[in-house]
Amino acid sequence: MNIDLKEIPIRDLVKNYTNDDENGVVGYNGKLNIRPKYQREFVYQDKQRDEVIKTIQKGFPLNVMYWVVSGDGTYEVLDGQQRTISICEYVDNKFSINERMFHNLENDEQELILNYKVMVYFCEGTDSEKLSWFETINIAGVELTKQELKNAVYTGTWLK
Closest CA to 28 of 101, 103, 120, 96: 120
Closest CA to 17 of 85, 98, 77, 106: 85
> In angstroms, rounded to a whole number, what is the distance separating the alpha carbons of residues 157 and 35?
45
Q: pLDDT in tens for each of the 160 residues of the chain? A: 788 999 999 999 999 999 998 888 999 999 999 998 777 788 889 999 999 999 999 999 999 999 999 889 999 998 899 999 999 999 999 999 999 999 999 999 999 999 999 999 999 988 788 777 777 776 644 454 555 445 444 444 444 4
Domain that includes residue 34, residue range: 2-159
Strands in the chain per DSSP E: 2-9, 18-20, 24-27, 32-33, 65-69, 75-79, 117-124
Per-residue DSSP letter, 100: B
Provide the number of structural domains found in the chain.
1
CATH of the domain at 29: 3.90.1530.10
Q: Report the predicted TM-score, pTM, of the whole model to 2 decimal places.
A: 0.82
> In angstroms, rounded to a whole number, what is the distance separating the alpha carbons of residues 124 and 71?
9
